[in-house]
Amino acid sequence: MKLRNIRNGTLQDQRLRSEDVIQRANLDEVEMQYMYSDSAGHHFMDTKSYEQISLSDEVLGELVGYLVPESVIKVEFYGTEPVGIELPQTVDLAVTDTAPAIKGATASAQLKPATLETGLVVQVPPFINVGDRVRVNTETASTRTGRRDEGQGQGAG
């Protein structure tokens, strides 16, 4: 299995026997609001105590692309150390750059890349324009939500 060291971000491959017993880390989840990012890290504020913490790129990894300022997410703590975040299933993000929509494009499932407000690049259906908001699945980085949400215009993707 592939493992990532939470503290220094290094990757490691490990093989275990089926009968091995592994220690699971017990985590506490705290609701926090994402504020901003700078060179020191990504800053979050506890919604109850207003205490502020910062998380490094190593801890967040690719999840940085789903963070919108003021969004409330869950931060996982191992003891007093923040080790990760839990995102909602989907996040709505605005498209900041994509190729223009093609008139008379076929209804087939052709996708084009789109850059979102957080810098994340996802594949979107051809009718999506700059300024549109798309609902992105935070686990798969796709705009397919699996069901036709009201007003999302995502069903045809």
Partner 1 sequence: MSSIQATRLKKGNLIVLDGDLYRILDLQHVTPGNLRGFVA
Q: Which is nearer to partner 1, 7 or 148 (CB)?
A: 7
**Comparison of 66 and 95: residue with beta carbon closer to partner 1:** 66
Give how many residues touch partner 1 by CB under 8 A. 27
The distance of closest approach from Cβ of residue 24 to partner 1 in the complex, given in angstroms and rounded to an integer, is: 5
8 A C-beta contact, residue 116 and residue 96: yes
Q: Which three-class secondary structure string do you get for 34-103?
A: EEEEECCEEEEEECCCCCEEEECHHHHHHHHHHCCCCCEEEEEEECCEEEEEECCCEEEEEEEEECCCCC
Our finding on whether 40 is near partner 1 (CB under 8 A) is no
b/e map 90-112, b = 16+ CB within 10 Å: bbebebeebeeeeeeeeeeeeeb
* Residue ranges in 7-26 that form contacts with partner 1 under rule CB under 8 A: 7, 11-12, 14-26
Residue 32 near residue 19 (C-beta atoms within 8 A) = no
Check binding of 27 to partner 1 (CB under 8 A): yes
To the nearest whole angstrom, how small is the minimum distance from the Cβ of residue 86 to partner 1? 10
80 forms part of the interface with partner 1 (CB under 8 A) = no
State the nearest-atom distance from the C-beta of 124 to partner 1, in Å.
Answer: 26
- Only one of the segments 47-55, 78-86, 120-128, 142-150 lies at the binding site for partner 1 (rule: CB under 8 A); that segment is 78-86
Residues that bind partner 1 (CB under 8 A): 1-7, 11-12, 14-27, 76, 78, 83-84
